[in-house]
C-alpha cells in the first residue's frame, strides 16, 4: 500500500512538472564565453526563451499607432534576437543619444576616481575649479559635491521642463552662452544640495568638465580608451561646448548596436571578456535608486547616478524624443530604442518594453521552435526598412521651369538654386553656414540620401534624406530627415516672380528655425 501511495505521489509530481518543462531545454542564461566585441551573434527569440509572436505584435502595434520609432534592438542572454530599423533609417548609421549620453558620462566619473584623478564623489565641485570666479558663491554652493551632480540634487536655480529652445529654458540659455560651465556654476542656489531631485542637464555637463579638468583628457578620448575601444565601438561623434569640453549631457552619436554593447557591459556588472572595465560596485551603486523622482522629467520611479529606474524593474538611459537603453538584469535583457517621439509619446518605449518585450520573455530555457511565428517576425522586420513603391511622376507646375537654374540670395545670407529636370527628382543647391550642399530630392515619394558635411558641427559628416512635392502652383515643400538625428524638418519654398520666401520648421516641436526672404541673383 505504501508503495502504491508513493508511486501515486511521484506520478502527481511528474504530471505537475510537465507544463513547466514542456518545450524547454537547457538553461540559456549564459553566452558560453562569446562576447560581441567584433559583432553580435544573432539568435531566434525562441532559442533565448522569448516569443516571436509577441515581439511581432509590438511592431504591428507601432505601425498601427504610427509611432515615430527609428530602431529597436533586443538582446537576450548576450544574443541579438531582434533588430528592426524603420524606413528611411538604417543599421549602418549612428543615432543621436540626446540625454542617454548622461549614463556614459557617469562611467567616466568612476574611471577618473579609480585612476586617482578624483579623490571622492563627495569632493566639493568648486574645489576642482580653484581658478574660476564663481558668482552667488554661498556656503550651500561651496558644499555642492560630485555626488550631488550625479544625482541631480545640486540645489541650483534651474528650469528644464523639456521645452528645449524656449527662451526661459535654462539648458537653452546655457548653450547659447559663451561658457557653459561658468553659466551653470554662476546660477544662484535654490536650496541645500542633496535635498531634492531636479532635472539639470548642466549638472551632467559639469561632470564631463570635471573629467576633463582632472584627467587632462577630453571625455571622448578618455571614453574611447577605457570603454569604447575594448567594446569594439568606433565612429563615435561627441559634440563639445565652446570651451572644447565634450557635452556631458548629450550630443553623442552612436550606432544602436553599439549602444546595446554598452548596455551588455552594465548587465555583466562592468565586465567585458576577461577585463573589469567598470568597477562592479559602481555598476550596482550607480544603477540603483539614490533619490526619488516624483516630478522627474524622464521618469517617476527614481534616479541613480545618471541612470533612471524602470517601472518594471531594472534601469535605463533616456534621452529626448525617445532614445532609450533598457537593462533588465532579472530577465538578462538589454533593449535599445531610437526615436523621434513628441513629448506626449516620450514614454512609449517604456510602455512597449512592459507590454510586449517583457511579456515576450517567457523562460530562462529555450522554447520550442516556432518557425511560423519567427518567419512572420522576420518578414515584418524586412518590411519596416523597405522603401515604398515609387509614385508615378507628377506633372511639374509651370513655375518649376521658370525658376529652375535661378539662384536666390536670401536675407540670412543663405542661397538656394533648384534644377527640375523631370518629375522624379530635383537637385537643390543650398548654401548654408558657409557650406554648399548639393542634394538630390525625390519627387516620387522616395527619399534620396545625401552626405551632409558640417550639418551639426565642423568636421562631422552625417547623412540626410530628402523628398519633396509641389503643394500648389507656387509652393515647393521638402521633407528633410537627418538620418542620425531625432528631428525632422519641413522646408517650404514660396515663389513669387523673382522673389522667394523660405521657411524651415522643426517637425518635432513645430518650431520655425528659418523664415527668410530673397530675390534672384542678377
| Domain encompassing residue 217 | 73-79+86-360
Q: Select from 333, 334, 327 the least CA-distant residue to 363.
A: 333
Assess contact for 86 and 70: CB atoms under 8 A.
yes
Sequence-distant (≥ 6) Cβ neighbours of residue 314 within 8 angstroms:
326, 327, 328, 329, 330, 331, 333
User: Do both 343 and 464 map to the same domain?
Assistant: no
- Give a yes or no: residue 268 inside a domain: yes
Task: Point out the domain boundary residue: 360, 382, 416.
Answer: 360
User: Do both 194 and 326 map to the same domain?
Assistant: yes
- Give a yes or no: residue 8 inside a domain: no
- Give a yes or no: residue 311 inside a domain: yes
User: Do both 331 and 439 map to the same domain?
Assistant: no
CATH code of the domain in which 450 resides: 2.40.128.20
User: Do both 352 and 403 map to the same domain?
Assistant: no
Sequence-distant (≥ 6) Cβ neighbours of residue 237 within 8 angstroms:
94, 252, 253, 456, 460
- Give a yes or no: residue 131 inside a domain: yes
User: Do both 343 and 421 map to the same domain?
Assistant: no
- Give a yes or no: residue 234 inside a domain: yes
Task: Point out the domain boundary residue: 302, 335, 360.
Answer: 360
Q: What string of DSSP letters covers 176-207?
A: HSS-HHHHHHHSPB-S-TTS-----HHHHHHH
In the block, residue with C-alpha cell 522643426 = 506
- Give a yes or no: residue 36 inside a domain: no
User: Do both 355 and 445 map to the same domain?
Assistant: no
User: Do both 318 and 407 map to the same domain?
Assistant: no
Q: What is the pTM of this model?
A: 0.93
- Quick count: other Cβ atoms within 10 Å of Cβ 507? 16
Rounded Cα gap, residues 517 and 469, in angstroms: 21
User: Do both 244 and 347 map to the same domain?
Assistant: yes
- Give a yes or no: residue 187 inside a domain: yes
Is cis: bond before 88, omega within 30 of 0? yes
- Give a yes or no: residue 97 inside a domain: yes
User: Which cell numbers in the block locate residue 88?
Assistant: 528611411
User: Do both 320 and 418 map to the same domain?
Assistant: no
User: Which cell numbers in the block locate residue 503?
Assistant: 521657411
User: Which cell numbers in the block locate residue 419?
Assistant: 534644377
Provide the domain count of the chain. 2
Assess contact for 181 and 206: CB atoms under 8 A.
yes
Q: Select from 107, 108, 128, 129 the least CA-distant residue to 119.
A: 128
In the block, residue with C-alpha cell 544574443 = 79
User: Do both 313 and 413 map to the same domain?
Assistant: no
User: Do both 115 and 246 map to the same domain?
Assistant: yes
Per-residue pLDDT of the chain (522 residues; tens, 9 = 90+): 333 333 333 333 333 333 333 334 344 445 578 999 999 999 999 999 999 999 999 999 999 999 999 999 999 999 999 999 999 999 999 999 999 999 999 999 999 999 999 999 999 999 999 999 999 999 999 999 999 999 999 999 999 998 888 889 999 999 999 999 999 999 999 999 999 999 999 999 999 999 999 999 999 999 999 999 999 999 999 999 999 999 999 999 999 999 999 999 999 999 999 999 999 999 999 999 999 999 899 999 999 999 999 999 999 999 999 999 999 999 999 999 999 999 999 999 999 999 999 999 999 999 999 999 999 999 999 999 999 999 998 899 999 999 999 999 999 999 999 999 888 999 999 999 999 999 999 999 999 999 998 888 878 889 999 999 999 999 999 999 999 999 999 999 999 999 999 999 999 888 899 999 999 998
State whether residue 258 is helix, strand or coil.
helix
User: Do both 406 and 350 map to the same domain?
Assistant: no
CATH code of the domain in which 191 resides: 3.40.710.10
Task: Point out the domain boundary residue: 360, 386, 415.
Answer: 360
Amino acid at each position: 500500500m505504501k508503495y502504491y501511495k508513493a508511486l501515486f505521489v511521484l506520478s502527481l509530481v511528474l504530471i505537475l512538472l510537465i507544463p513547466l518543462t514542456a518545450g524547454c531545454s537547457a538553461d540559456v542564461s549564459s553566452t558560453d564565453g562569446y562576447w560581441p566585441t567584433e559583432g553580435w551573434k544573432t539568435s531566434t527569440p525562441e532559442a533565448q526563451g522569448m516569443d516571436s509572436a509577441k515581439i511581432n505584435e509590438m511592431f504591428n502595434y507601432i505601425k498601427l499607432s504610427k509611432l515615430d520609432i527609428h530602431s529597436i534592438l533586443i538582446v537576450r542572454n548576450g544574443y541579438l534576437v531582434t533588430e528592426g530599423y524603420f524606413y528611411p533609417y538604417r543599421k549602418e548609421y549612428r543615432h543621436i543619444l540626446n540625454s542617454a549620453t548622461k549614463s556614459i558620462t557617469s562611467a567616466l566619473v568612476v574611471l577618473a576616481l579609480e585612476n586617482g584623478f578624483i579623490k571622492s564623489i563627495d569632493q566639493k565641485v568648486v574645489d576642482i575649479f580653484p581658478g574660476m570666479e564663481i558668482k552667488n558663491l554661498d556656503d550651500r554652493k561651496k558644499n555642492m559635491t560630485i555626488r550631488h551632480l550625479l544625482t541631480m540634487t545640486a540645489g541650483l536655480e534651474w528650469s528644464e521642463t523639456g521645452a528645449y529652445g524656449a527662451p526661459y529654458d535654462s539648458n537653452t540659455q546655457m548653450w547659447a552662452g559663451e561658457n557653459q560651465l561658468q553659466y551653470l556654476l554662476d546660477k544662484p542656489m535654490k536650496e541645500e544640495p542633496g535635498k531634492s531631485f531636479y532635472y539639470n542637464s548642466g549638472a551632467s555637463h559639469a561632470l564631463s568638465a570635471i573629467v576633463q579638468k582632472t584627467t587632462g583628457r577630453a571625455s571622448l578620448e578618455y571614453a574611447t580608451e577605457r570603454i569604447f575601444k575594448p567594446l569594439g565601438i568606433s565612429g563615435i561623434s561627441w559634440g563639445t561646448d565652446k570651451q572644447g569640453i565634450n557635452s556631458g549631457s548629450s550630443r553623442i552619436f552612436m550606432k544602436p548596436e553599439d549602444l546595446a554593447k554598452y548596455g551588455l557591459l552594465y548587465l555583466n556588472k562592468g565586465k567585458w571578456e576577461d577585463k573589469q572595465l567598470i568597477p562592479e560596485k559602481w555598476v550596482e551603486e550607480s544603477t540603483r535608486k539614490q533619490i526619488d523622482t516624483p516630478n522627474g522629467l524622464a521618469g517617476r520611479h527614481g534616479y541613480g547616478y545618471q541612470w533612471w529606474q524602470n517601472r518594471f524593474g531594472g534601469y535605463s538611459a533616456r534621452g529626448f524624443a525617445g532614445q532609450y537603453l533598457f537593462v533588465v538584469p532579472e530577465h538578462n535583457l538589454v533593449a535599445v530604442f531610437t526615436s523621434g517621439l513628441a513629448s506626449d509619446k516620450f514614454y512609449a518605449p517604456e510602455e512597449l518594453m512592459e507590454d510586449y518585450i517583457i511579456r515576450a520573455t517567457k523562460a530562462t530555457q529555450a522554447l520550442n521552435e516556432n518557425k511560423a511565428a519567427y518567419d512572420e517576425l522576420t518578414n515584418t522586420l524586412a518590411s519596416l526598412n523597405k522603401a515604398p513603391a515609387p509614385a508615378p511622376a507628377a506633372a511639374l507646375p509651370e513655375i518649376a521651369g521658370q525658376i529652375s537654374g535661378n539662384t536666390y540670395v536670401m536675407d540670412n545670407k543663405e542661397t538656394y538654386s533648384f534644377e527640375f529636370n523631370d518629375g522624379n527628382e530635383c537637385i537643390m543647391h543650398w548654401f548654408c553656414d558657409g557650406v554648399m550642399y548639393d542634394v538630390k530630392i525625390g519627387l516620387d515619394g522616395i527619399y534620396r540620401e545625401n552626405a551632409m558635411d558640417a550639418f551639426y558641427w565642423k568636421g562631422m559628416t552625417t547623412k540626410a534624406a530628402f523628398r519633396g512635392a509641389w503643394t500648389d502652383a507656387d509652393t515647393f515643400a521638402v521633407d528633410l530627415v537627418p538620418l542620425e538625428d531625432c528631428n525632422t524638418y519641413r522646408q517650404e519654398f514660396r515663389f513669387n516672380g523673382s522673389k522667394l520666401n523660405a521657411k524651415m520648421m522643426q517637425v518635432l516641436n513645430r518650431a520655425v528655425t528659418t523664415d527668410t526672404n530673397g530675390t534672384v541673383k542678377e
